[in-house]
Amino acid sequence: MSDSAVAKRDLRNLHWLWLSAAVIGLDQLSKQIASRLLDLHQPVPVIPFLNWTLTYNTGAAFSFLSDAGGWQRWFFAALTIVVAIIIVAWLMRLRTGQRWLAAALSLVLGGALGNLWDRLVIGAVVDFIDVYYSNWHWPAFNLADSAICVGAVMLVVSTFREG
């Protein structure tokens, strides 16, 4: 394959970034709405097993390192940037027709960048979705986290589909 054909293929795969941009936009919009309408740590019942509850997470998933003193903000920001570069490079190298994998990578990228924006601008990730059963509550999360999880599951499925 010629260098120009490889370059065209690499650039053509970048059209999947629309999905990442959509995730970032919806995530940021939902976080702005939650931040304006919800009071910190005050649950608003939506349906049984689901509340809107505004929280700010200075750590990573499940509040990992949330009480580390502040350095974790920059560590997770740097880690996210490295992962984002790897994902974009991976996306550019996909073969034509690998739509499932491209969508998975784009979801993970969009979610990661949505949370990165919060870390850089606010200093913490805005979470507001509170899923619970009886007195047990799953850690609060947001749309970016959901996109990352869906994308990760799709990545696992793609490894089984492609052998």
- For the stretch 92-127, pLDDT in tens is 999 888 999 999 999 999 999 999 999 999 999 999
What predicted TM-score, i.e. pTM, was given to this entire model?
Answer: 0.88
As a whole number of angstroms, the distance between CA 105 and CA 148 comes to 9
Q: Is 23 inside any structural domain?
A: no
Q: Is 15 inside any structural domain?
A: no
The answer on pLDDT for 85 being more than 80 is yes
Range of the domain at 131: 64-163
pLDDT at residue number 6: 52
Q: Is 143 inside any structural domain?
A: yes
pLDDT at residue number 51: 97
pLDDT at residue number 46: 96
Q: What percent of the chain has pLDDT over 90?
A: 73
* CB within 8 Å of 87: residues ≥ 6 apart: 105, 108, 109, 112
Q: Looking up tokens 């491209």, which residue turns up? A: 102
Catalytic residues: 127, 145
- Give how many domains the chain has, as a whole number: 1
More confident residue, 10 or 103: 103
